[in-house]
Amino acid sequence: MEKLESAGTYIHFETSLDPITALIEEGKYSKVFVFADINTSEHCLPVFREMLDDFSEFDLIETDPGEENKNIDFCIGIWKTLLDFGADRKALMINLGGGVITDMGGFVASTYKRGIDFINIPTTLLSQVDASVGGKTGIDIDNVKNMVGTFTLPKAVFIESAFLKTVPERELLSGFAEMIKHGLIADSAYFERLKAQRFNELPVEEIYRSVQIKNEVVTADPLEKNIRKILNFGHTIGHAVESYSLNNDKKSLTHGEAIAVGMICEAWLSWKNSTLTETELEEVKTYIASVYPAYHIKEKSFKALAKLMQSDKKNENGHILFSLLEKIGKCTYNCRVSETDINESLRFYNSIYAT
């Protein structure tokens, strides 16, 4: 299929990983490491091997799955493993997994001996349409998300729908939220097309379009000084809801579920503080609520949520800054919003499911 250039790095689509062999030869790497978690090692490594015709000259580094393991202790473990396995500066790391693996593997690679090459093979929908582009690597410290990381581009990215077959439905739905976001902030026709799709039967073309949108945005602003901030639409409130849920709910929200909540709230803020019309607000709300499960944001959690928003990485000088829709398909950023409005938007969300 197609190939996208992103700041000198190529994102390859549906190539069955063919170009990897040439990349490894050209790079004259001294050793190849594949980094996976136990799930992707079980489900994706066999696909990887088959695509690469039993290419086997690599060492496997395995880690436990999940966000709770995207931390500095695991990094230290991987750095040491690389050293024990004799990885020098000409080693190559292939990150095979979801965003946890590509974020953490990217961070480890970008700092091991001051940086070795890495290739990302995102295996979840979320990591394909979002984490695959933009060069962000990162890990959490004390549960503060991505508190530490770098901006480093992988040598190449491979997006293969074959890997998605084993991804649990709830994880697919989580990634789908980022695609909806891409439509809302940058391409209304795309948003319309997505409405006609089912999140678990997505055509490869629509995944491609999502990556393309993200790529256009980050290319215009690699270091997130300005326009890139529109990618945070739904994420200021969404992240806070996600953290809160993680610490308080028995069955916590996925990232995408939280972003779905955040997008509805921030659509309301866009109507209140920017130029989104009431009809558009209604459209966004109805569609998202039809795809994502209901959630209740307790009134007594509002203070805690505000505090979480305060500590968001994207703030500057203590102000909570939002990215808001001007209309469906267009987004602005650095919007200051009052705490009263934030609370009102949370109530708006709750009202959807009030009976």
Ligand X SMILES: NC(=O)c1ccc[n+]([C@@H]2O[C@H](COP(=O)([O-])OP(=O)(O)OC[C@H]3O[C@@H](n4cnc5c(N)ncnc54)[C@H](O)[C@@H]3O)[C@@H](O)[C@H]2O)c1
Interacting residue ranges for ligand X, rule: CB under 6 A: 37, 39-40, 43-44, 65-67, 70, 97-101, 103, 123-124, 126-127, 130-131, 134, 136, 146, 163, 166-167, 171, 174, 255
**Amino acid code (one letter) for 220:** A
In degrees, to the nearest 5, what angle opens at C-alpha 215 toward C-alphas 20 and 130? Answer: 80
Q: What is the dihedral of CA 23, 28, 30, 35, to 10 degrees?
A: -10
Let me know: does 33 contact 94? Beta carbons within 8 Å.
yes
Pick between residue 140 and residue 187 the one whose CB is nearest to a second copy. Answer: 140
Q: How far is the CB of 39 from ligand X (least distance, A)?
A: 3
Task: Tell me which of ligand X, a second copy, none is bound by residue 99, counting a contact when its beta carbon lies within the kind-specific cut-off of 5 to 8 angstroms.
Answer: ligand X
Task: Tell me which of a second copy, ligand X, none is bound by residue 272, counting a contact when its beta carbon lies within the kind-specific cut-off of 5 to 8 angstroms.
Answer: none
Let me know: does 332 contact 184? Beta carbons within 8 Å.
no
Q: How far is the CB of 317 from a second copy (least distance, A)?
A: 5
Pick between residue 100 and residue 284 the one whose CB is nearest to ligand X. Answer: 100
The H or E element containing residue 343 is: helix 339-353
Task: Tell me which of ligand X, a second copy, none is bound by residue 148, counting a contact when its beta carbon lies within the kind-specific cut-off of 5 to 8 angstroms.
Answer: a second copy
Q: How far is the CB of 69 from a second copy (least distance, A)?
A: 16
Tokens standing for residue 141 = 């410290």
Pick between residue 45 and residue 147 the one whose CB is nearest to a second copy. Answer: 147
In degrees, to the nearest 5, what angle opens at C-alpha 314 toward C-alphas 311 and 316? Answer: 80
Pick between residue 146 and residue 350 the one whose CB is nearest to a second copy. Answer: 146
15: left (phi over 0), alpha (psi -120 to 50) or beta: alpha
Task: Tell me which of a second copy, ligand X, none is bound by residue 234, counting a contact when its beta carbon lies within the kind-specific cut-off of 5 to 8 angstroms.
Answer: none
Give the Cα separation of 19 and 108 in Å (integer): 24
Task: Tell me which of ligand X, a second copy, none is bound by residue 115, counting a contact when its beta carbon lies within the kind-specific cut-off of 5 to 8 angstroms.
Answer: a second copy
The residue count for the chain: 355
Task: Tell me which of ligand X, a second copy, none is bound by residue 313, counting a contact when its beta carbon lies within the kind-specific cut-off of 5 to 8 angstroms.
Answer: a second copy
Pick between residue 80 and residue 303 the one whose CB is nearest to a second copy. Answer: 80
Q: How far is the CB of 105 from a second copy (least distance, A)?
A: 14
Q: H helices within 221-312, ranges in order?
A: 235-248, 255-273, 278-291, 302-310
Pick between residue 146 and residue 219 the one whose CB is nearest to ligand X. Answer: 146
Give the Cα separation of 226 and 259 in Å (integer): 21
Pick between residue 72 and residue 204 the one whose CB is nearest to a second copy. Answer: 72
Nearest in space to 291 (alpha carbons), one of 211, 172, 130 = 172
Task: Tell me which of ligand X, a second copy, none is bound by residue 114, counting a contact when its beta carbon lies within the kind-specific cut-off of 5 to 8 angstroms.
Answer: a second copy
Tokens standing for residue 204 = 């490869």
Binding site for a second copy (CB under 8 A): 30, 72, 76, 79-80, 83, 86, 88-90, 110-115, 136-138, 141-142, 144, 146-151, 313-318
